[in-house]
Amino acid sequence: MPVISYREALNQAMREEMERDPDVFIMGEEVGHYNGAYKVTQGLLNHFSERRVIDAPIAEMGFAGIGVGAAMVGLRPIIEFMTFNFSLVAIDQIVNNAAKIFQMSGGQFNVPIVFRGPGGPAVQVGSQHSQSLESFYANVPGLKVVMPSTAYDAKGLLKTAIRDDNPVVFIEGETLYNSTWEVPTTEYLIPFGKADVKRVGQHVTLIAWSKMVWTCLDAAKELAKDGIEAEVVDVRSLRPLDHDTICSSVAKTGRCVIVEVGWPVAGYGAEVAYQVQRACLDQLDAPIERVTSDDVPMPYAKNLEDEVQPQIKDVIAAVKRALYLA
């Protein structure tokens, strides 16, 4: 299989879905003539014209609302936020309209819309551009929330999102766009609500999503040098969540470490921890460990930015606590 970047995989998914379905279109800041702030929409304007690749003004509430309206009348919008931090400007459209219209209309209106763009900390972009907002959106009934970690997952999940008849919040790892993975040339879809075991192990389960999956994989390599084999479970789909795969892994290993780049208070990892202890309490041989960013706005200085976010050493320390080695 060819090895392509996360960015290219997303581009392929949108291109293929736009060719398959003429009702799919893209709208957002700089998605057209600039080819996207992160070049994810590279070449799509030339291929599909301004009718289907629409450069929007700096007005997230406005163009998100246009997308919701378009979805209600049968189109399939892909709304790109230059960063998911900017989705906060449009949160009324996402939470109060997109997520609720199907129920409030008594099923008369589906809202097949994808809100996508980069999320999570990047590198020295300041506290207002470094937030992980998945727990905000995963809290809302009516939304589906997806966070792929690899190019393979990004393509398969985005194609699924575009075909879904419900609103999907699709958060891409801002530091993952250049990462590469094997991606088939044949069409494939990845269903929501299905986690993926990225590494098989027997001593401890590491649960993560988006860029923290890579941190866990690197930590697992280091742990293996000491004879500790960690299993890495990539959640991929936060809402709906795959309880079965997660709990099957924890039941096997008896120990669980949840790693997220978000904040600790009311973070999504707390929900995962609750689900694990509810289903696997009898199989747990140690308390569940959580590794999160520090409970502070992101600093700008690089050394402090690194200190705030979970690092390989933090995951290893949590694993050793779970194994009663520290």
Does 8 participate in catalysis according to the annotation? no
Q: Which of 8, 17, 29, 60 is catalytic?
A: 60
Q: Is the pLDDT of residue 157 over 90?
A: yes
Q: How confident is the model at residue 6 (pLDDT cuts 50, 70, 90)?
A: very high
173 and 240, same domain (yes or no): no
Q: Is 116 in contact with 172 (CB distance < 8 Å)?
A: yes
- Between CA 236 and CA 150 the distance in angstroms is 10
CATH at residue 311: 3.40.50.920
Q: Which whole number is the average pLDDT over 188-212?
A: 98
Does 243 participate in catalysis according to the annotation? no
Domain endpoint, select from 182, 206, 225: 182
233 and 87, same domain (yes or no): no
Q: Which whole number is the average pLDDT over 162-188?
A: 97
- Between CA 240 and CA 294 the distance in angstroms is 27
309 found inside a domain: yes
189 found inside a domain: no
13 found inside a domain: yes
- Between CA 233 and CA 284 the distance in angstroms is 16
170 and 267, same domain (yes or no): no
Which residue type is seen at 185?
A: T
Task: Give residues with Cβ within 8 angstroms of 132, minimum separation 6.
Answer: 119, 120, 121, 260, 261, 262, 263, 293
Domain endpoint, select from 159, 182, 205: 182
CATH at residue 86: 3.40.50.970
pLDDT at position 254 is 97
102 and 161, same domain (yes or no): yes
72 and 207, same domain (yes or no): no
Q: Which whole number is the average pLDDT over 137-144?
A: 98
Reduce the DSSP state of residue 312 to 3 states and report it.
Answer: helix
The average confidence (pLDDT) of the chain is: 97
Q: Is 31 in contact with 61 (CB distance < 8 Å)?
A: no
Q: Which whole number is the average pLDDT over 115-136?
A: 94
246 found inside a domain: yes
Give the single-character DSSP code of 314: H
Tens of pLDDT along 272-301?
999 999 999 999 999 999 999 999 999 999
Q: Is 204 in contact with 322 (CB distance < 8 Å)?
A: yes
191 found inside a domain: no
81 and 207, same domain (yes or no): no
Q: Which whole number is the average pLDDT over 162-179?
A: 97
- In terms of residue numbers, what domain contains 251? 196-322
pLDDT at position 326 is 63
168 and 97, same domain (yes or no): yes
256 and 285, same domain (yes or no): yes
112 and 207, same domain (yes or no): no
Q: Which whole number is the average pLDDT over 23-37?
A: 97
32 and 138, same domain (yes or no): yes
Beta strands in the chain (DSSP E): 3-5, 24-28, 53-55, 76-80, 114-119, 144-146, 168-173, 180-182, 196-199, 204-208, 230-234, 237-239, 256-259, 289-291
Tokens encoding 149: 């970690």
116 DSSP β-pair partners: 80, 170
In the chain, the number of structural domains is 2
pLDDT at position 253 is 97
| Distinct helix (H) and strand (E) counts, the chain | 12, 14
Q: Which of 129, 222, 229, 271 is catalytic?
A: 129
187 found inside a domain: no
292 and 256, same domain (yes or no): yes
- Between CA 191 and CA 164 the distance in angstroms is 10
**Residue whose tokens read 């389960």:** 205
130 and 270, same domain (yes or no): no
pLDDT at position 325 is 85
113 found inside a domain: yes
